[in-house]
Amino acid sequence: MDEKKIAVIVPIIAALIIGGAIGVYFQFQKDAPKLNIARNVIKSLSSKTVPSIVAFGKASKIEGRNITLDYNGDTITIGISDDAQIYTSSNQTAGATPTASLLENIKIGDDLSVNLKVLPDGQLQGQSVIILNFAN
């Protein structure tokens, strides 16, 4: 009796394993084009021909050189490079003027425009920050 049970159970388990492997294979085939597109986008944006892209939002968190921006329900955390230029602007100045350092001038709630560079590993790095003073 035990041999009959084993003879039935072993093929069922083998079929489940084979079915699972086939399912994983076909899911990977379905997702592979999306992964290639993502790799190509990262490669293009990290190219030397794309000097920067811009992120905008309200500073909601500052930890060391990482700034979290919020805008219309979306959130992004950006690491600011050590040599990033920090600027401030207001209605009273003709353009952005340089400031001393990141930690001393950026406050929670400030509206920021951050020029970003996409690194080859896909990480974002802030190259410069403009503190936007809309109320002045």
Could you report the per-residue pLDDT of 19-70, keeping only the tens digit for each? 877 777 767 666 666 667 777 777 777 777 777 788 999 999 999 889 999 9
For residue 17 the two structure tokens come to 């394993």
For residue 131, the surrounding DSSP H or E stretch is strand 124-133
Residue ranges covered by each domain of the chain: 1-45, 53-133
pTM of the model: 0.61
State residue 72 phi and psi, 5-degree precision. 50, 45
Give the residue, 79 or 2, on which the prediction is more confident.
79
Q: DSSP assignment of 8-25, as one string?
A: HHHHHHHHHHHHHHHHHH
Residue type at position 133: N
Check whether domain 53-133 has CATH 2.40.50.320, yes or no: yes
For residue 14 the two structure tokens come to 């083998």
